[in-house]
Structure 1
């Protein structure tokens, strides 16, 4: 089957030789894909390869990518024939926009890798339509769950951070123009990782001290790349500062409270929260409500308190009505947040009984179900 290189997995096997646009032979038929092979394909700007059909069948990400391609072709054919294809349902349109934005970020990432800068106009052309559609998505919890993907990578993470940064900025009262700039800062905050070795970025075991220092340099790389690509100093500062913490424990400059740009303060909260959801930052039980509890604690000294509180106040009501899986195996629906312990809600389970997690302390939410 034909697949985009960003959907390749370790162990996929090529069914045909792969060549660059210049005719250079990149990988041979029968190659078993590894991370370094994906990097090689990226460097030579190969977009699609042919692989053996996986036993588990096509992934959801591939399905939506194929759907997006089909929709694009259909729109093109419709335009030439003068017929209308109709409108997509809002959720499907949002997913399609998300995938288009993923592809755009990939292009910016690769361009920054090869020439040290990216086309800022292309970034805005991809991000602006998606941000414009956020006003119709009032349930942010549902949006984050809807756009969640199994193949989490730097691209999908950055886009989700950009979207959540937009919401937090709007909740804090920023203008529409500033909300977009803050969203763009979140979208590009990790662009400097293109200059970090893929081996380091994908390493599952603990990094050595030298590797950790190299990974931390992505903030400096990102600042340089954005400065080379656009005139927005605030976006460049977001890339440079998004790992700084108000208690001075961050990097690369150990800035303290009052020294971190207001846009960065927002993006940092979004970055950590999305990172927790995808199993980063040491989260032992990645689910949205438990992660909200964890980030709440970071609002006392490490992260900007106002940005954390805005996240809390606007996400907690979104959990009401959501289905959950409890630690005892029961499924239920959150019906009320407890004032005494906002992270231990009242849940109505399938047996029509109620579980008050603020009183039944041995019970916890294992998973939120979309």
Structure 2
């Protein structure tokens, strides 16, 4: 059956080979289509494909692959994720990485996401459980870029922030995958090794770039304002400014991500938790700016409520950021007044 790529559903299988305009194979007959495969089809400007006959699957039970958010951005995201994996492998093998590889991997993403204003839709669209370490690197790079721009940093510093965020976890290349991907609680010895990724990252970036700020960001992005972080237990002004910014992006990406040991958490409620952290753990100026600039992205998003109802966020309350005005059918609910309503999930 011949379908447009906007009508593809997760699990569809190709009934014929797919070629580029110059005759190169994109996918072979029998390939199963998911998000990554769709991004490749979109990237190569494939409009229609022949798929195998579908079994009886109710349309509502099989979500369409193409989201309402800008699908043209997905290929750049997945290319960056694949590029991050290659950077990690090279860092492991050679103990260093190369600036041209970083630029070739991350810069196209920044160039294409630079004008994207709906950051929440991007995070909802691009956040999956696969390749967590590499997706996290890409997300932190993007969020660091946005955060630096929202802070009013100069363009050069904004680009550096994105690069530092993208490379902040490069030291994890030296952590065994059995520890990184462990679904159970880590032992004390395993957690001690996980914490070493900051030192490994510092060494790799020191060996790769003539820019100490990148190395300090990798070393210090788990430091906390009250001195409870690692590896050095630094406090407040002793933490590099770039590391403080990367910490905010890192915490947000980590908390909203799907992990092998837990499901992903709601994007709005994570901002509330970060607000609480801004009083002792995270830099308050950066965190509050990040929250204020993220919140307008939630207007117009559909939310599921803890009582089973669903509605749309209409307005962010300036006196109670995390309890917005919601429209549910014909009625309006001001959550700052009607305290019995709780948001359980933000969806597209």
Normalization by structure 1: what TM-score?
A: 0.76
Q: Which residue number in structure 2 is paired with residue 268 of structure 1? A: 247
> CA–CA distance in 2 between the matches of 1:190 and 1:199?
17
Correspondences of 1:1-370 after superposition (within 5 Å): 58-65=33-40, 67-68=42-43, 70=44, 91-279=70-258, 286-350=265-329, 352-370=330-348
Pick closer, same or farther for the CA change 1:285–1:361 going to 2, 3 Å.
farther
Distance 2:79 2:96 in 1: 20
CA positional deviation for 1:219: 0.4
Contact 1:152 1:278 in 2 (8 A): no
Deviations 1:61-117 (A, max 9, x none): 33324554x459xxxxxxxxxxxxxxxx99233211111111111110111111211
Contact kept, 8 Å, 1:346 with 1:356, in 2: the verdict is yes
Q: Secondary structure at the match of 1:169?
A: helix
CA contact (8 A) 1:61 1:149 kept: no
Taking structure 1 as reference, are residues 358 and 257 closer, same or farther at Cα in structure 2, changes over 3 Å only? same
1:358 Cα deviation from its structure 2 partner: 2.1
| Structure 2 counterpart SS, 1:173 | coil
Count the aligned residue pairs. 301
Q: In 2 relative to 1, CA 65–284 (structure 1 residues): closer, same or farther, beyond 3 Å?
A: closer
Q: Which has the higher contact order (CA 8 A, sep 6+)?
A: 2
Shift of 1:217: 0.3
1:136 partner SS: coil
The worse-fitting range, judged by mean Cα deviation, of 334-343 and 298-307 is: 334-343
Paired with 1:144 and 1:285, the residues of 2 have a C-alpha distance of 11
- Secondary structure at 1:355 match in 2: strand
Q: Distance in 2 between matches of 1:289 and 1:152?
A: 24
**Aligned to 1:246, what secondary structure does the other structure show?**
coil
SS in 1 for 2:321: coil
Q: CA deviation at 1:159?
A: 0.4
Distance apart, 1:317 and its partner CA: 1.5
Corresponding residue SS for 2:345: strand
Aligned-partner SS, 1:255: coil
- Could you tell me which residue of structure 1 aligns to residue 21 of structure 2? none
The 1:148/1:284 distance shift into structure 2, 3 A limit, reads closer
Aligned residue number for residue 7 of structure 2: none
1-structure distance, mates of 2:343, 2:100: 43
Q: Which ranges in structure 2 are unaligned for 5 or more consecutive residues?
A: 1-27, 47-67
Task: Determine the C-alpha separation between the residues in 2 that align with 1:177 and 1:330.
Answer: 46
- Measure, in 1, the Cα distance between the counterparts of 2:126 and 2:188: 34
Give the C-alpha shift of residue 332 in structure 1. Answer: 1.0
Structure 1 residue 323, shift from structure 2 partner: 1.1
3-state DSSP of counterpart to 2:179: helix
CA contact (8 A) 2:220 2:230 kept: yes
